[in-house]
Structure 1
Amino acid sequence: MQSIYAMHQNDSDNLEKEEKFLFQSIENIRDLYLILLSALVELRNSEEDYIEKSSKKHLATPQERNPNRKFINNKVLLLLDENNSLSIALADRKINNWKLNDDYILILLDAIKNSEVYNKYMHNRENDFEEDRDFIAELYTEVIAPDEKLYEYLEDYKLTWVDDIPLVNTLIAKQLKMIKPDGNFFVPRLYKDEDDKDFVKALFRKTVLNEVELAKEFIDKTPNWDTERIAEVDAIILKMAICEFLKFPSIPVKVTINEYLEIAKEYSTPKSSIFINGILDNLVKDYQNNNKLVKTGRGLM
């Protein structure tokens, strides 16, 4: 939807170029995931470096000589630091943001140390996997993900990430809560399979190449609305939904409607989801009456 909207705004008809941008934007989501996940590792390493240097000072305090190492010994942080899947992905994508911008790690580390979550966790010096896991999950959700400085850095680094940050944060938080002591942690694939990737390309191309015909499907269903009065995002959402109705027989009607209503709630006007839902409901009834809606498989209507 965003890529099609960008094409309209740029008045572009270069399908190959815009499709390349679409797939690059999706690749960038994985980079965002890796950057945020690697921040946890860098936070641990930065704190370990600080503790080691403090303990070797000529006039080190008793606390500096015998520090509480619970945070740097956190079993989940150590697991991530030693994880092959994460290390390979970071090397493959050449992710080294925190090496180049360690000041953000120090700012984030300071925010962590001032948090109630951290101080409660550091109350003792014992490391237990379940406690370590619960702490990291809570720390990420309550302190790291909402951090304004981190958000500003990510926004400045790549503006298109603004919409992706909540999605990636949700995924990471979910993974952290489910991580196991056996270290069976894997960086998720960007696409479920090749069919998944092919669907992205097909939906983009079939919507763009058939925009005029797809628009005709709903114009007659909005007699009280001039074409110019329909918000551009709403028009794109309707075209994509109708494209799925008519050109993707394996996608259930209810799934299509639900997905695009959620997109409308997120990106369009407050009343758009009601407007779009009404049009799509009427279209589905018409398609069914005219045997125009062909869906294969069980439960697809």
Structure 2
Amino acid sequence: MINRRHIRVKVMQSVYAMLQSKSDVLDKEEKFLYNSIDKMLDLYVLILRLFVEVKNLEKNNIKISQKKFLATSEELNPNTKFINNQVFKLLEESVSLNNYLEDNNLNYWILDSEYVNNIWKVTKESTIYKEYIASEKDSFQADKEFVAALFKEIIAPDEKLADYFEDKNISWVDDIPFVNTWVLKSINQLKENKPFKLGALYKDEDDKKFVVELFRKVILNHTEFQKEVDDKTPNWDAERIAEIDMILIKMAICEFLKFPSIPSRVTINEYIEISKDYSTTKSSYFINGVLDKILKEFIATKRLNKIGRGLL
């Protein structure tokens, strides 16, 4: 499921896009933001289904080899450990996963089977595949460890696959690292003989509301927040401050003033970490300094309205 840091990243991108376009159609931008997040689930499901497609390709190739007129002994009696992997079986038989694929018409691997074929070829040539096939270990845990290794070493780093996802949906460029972590976590959490169920995208309704509330409050108050920044950076020309830095600072100010249940230190830490991925090398120090100064003034002037102990 999506966490609040990635929600903040999505909101940051939408705020940036709306300010750049100078659009004033808030409802349209909110729908786009929600859709962008919803599409993350598509990517997650597609990657999980990729395991099944690779397994099916191996299964079909085994059948073809067995029908050869001069089939070898190895082809007639193949090692079926890979196609009988219990993790693949759980994913293939998942009702919720299959329903989602059908309901959302996610037939990518049928239309673009060359990507499945590429992963299959690289897998067959890999050391982890050969060691797995040769191993005498036959357990759900061994199957799960192999699938996790397959994902970490072959699927996740595949540049052709990453380019393919980017072509399909430009917003997936920033989502891939998060979704890859989500996929790996899901694999590691699988239990033997327990059906795989597709979880919810959001942890709870509060997280879903947080998306639009943060976006809306930043957009509607960004002029007011700009003044707060200007007051704390008198020696800085506003145009010299990176646009992403300015947006992250405004989002943090918004959380200081408009979200009573979010601890101020959590807010600062979150935006510092986001800046390390999306802004300049020195941005995290600048943002930390500005937010620390703003927070101290808000506390001194009693403008903070935090609920509960330890939230300052």
- Bigger shift: 84-93 or 206-215? 84-93
Kept after mapping to 1: 8 A contact 2:245/2:287? yes
5 Å-filtered alignment, 1:81-96, equals 81-96=92-107
Specify the SS of the correspondent of 1:234.
helix
Paired residue for 1:290? 301
Kept after mapping to 2: 8 A contact 1:75/1:127? no
Deviation digits for residues 119-174 of structure 1 (CA, Å, limit 9, x no counterpart): 11111466321110100011101111001111111111111101000000011111
* CA shift for structure 1 position 93: 2.1
Equivalents in 1 of 2:81, 2:137: separation in Å?
7
Amino acid at match of 2:222: E
Equivalents in 2 of 1:125, 1:159: separation in Å?
43
* CA shift for structure 1 position 20: 1.1
Equivalents in 2 of 1:45, 1:102: separation in Å?
12
Paired residue for 1:205? 216
Equivalents in 2 of 1:126, 1:73: separation in Å?
13
Say which of 20, 30, 37 aligns to 1:26. 37
Specify the SS of the correspondent of 1:72.
coil
Paired residue for 2:149? 138
Say which of 195, 201, 210 aligns to 1:190. 201
Equivalents in 2 of 1:234, 1:39: separation in Å?
37
Kept after mapping to 2: 8 A contact 1:70/1:125? no
Specify the SS of the correspondent of 1:182.
coil
Equivalents in 2 of 1:153, 1:198: separation in Å?
31
1:215 aligns with 2:226: yes
* CA shift for structure 1 position 185: 2.5
Equivalents in 1 of 2:104, 2:293: separation in Å?
46
Deviation digits for residues 18-51 of structure 1 (CA, Å, limit 9, x no counterpart): 1111111001111111111110111111111111
Paired residue for 2:83? 72
Give TM-score scaled by structure 2 length. Answer: 0.94
1:157 aligns with 2:183: no
Specify the SS of the correspondent of 1:198.
helix
Aligned length: 301
Task: Call closer, same or farther: CA 1:93–1:297 in 2, change over 3 Å.
Answer: farther
* CA shift for structure 1 position 188: 2.2
Deviation digits for residues 195-250 of structure 1 (CA, Å, limit 9, x no counterpart): 21111111100100111001111111111211111111011001110000001101
Amino acid at match of 2:206: D
Amino acid at match of 1:87: N
In structure 1, the gaps of 5 or more residues are: none
1:253 aligns with 2:264: yes
1:59 aligns with 2:70: yes
Specify the SS of the correspondent of 1:159.
coil
Paired residue for 1:174? 185
* CA shift for structure 1 position 102: 1.0
Equivalents in 2 of 1:142, 1:298: separation in Å?
44
Paired residue for 1:6? 17
In structure 2, the gaps of 5 or more residues are: 1-11
Task: Call closer, same or farther: CA 1:161–1:56 in 2, change over 3 Å.
Answer: same
Equivalents in 2 of 1:227, 1:177: separation in Å?
47
Kept after mapping to 1: 8 A contact 2:65/2:75? yes
Pairwise CA RMSD of aligned residues?
1.2
- Bigger shift: 108-117 or 5-14? 5-14
5 Å-filtered alignment, 1:106-125, equals 106-124=117-135
Say which of 212, 223, 229 aligns to 2:240. 229
Give TM-score scaled by structure 1 length. Answer: 0.97
Kept after mapping to 2: 8 A contact 1:41/1:77? yes
Specify the SS of the correspondent of 2:280.
coil
Say which of 42, 47, 52 aligns to 1:36. 47
Specify the SS of the correspondent of 2:232.
coil
Equivalents in 2 of 1:259, 1:184: separation in Å?
35
Paired residue for 1:49? 60
Paired residue for 2:5? none
Kept after mapping to 1: 8 A contact 2:166/2:173? yes
Equivalents in 1 of 2:311, 2:195: separation in Å?
36
Amino acid at match of 1:95: L
Amino acid at match of 1:97: Y
Kept after mapping to 2: 8 A contact 1:234/1:268? yes
Kept after mapping to 1: 8 A contact 2:90/2:195? no
Amino acid at match of 1:52: K
Sequence identity percentage: 53
Equivalents in 2 of 1:97, 1:140: separation in Å?
19
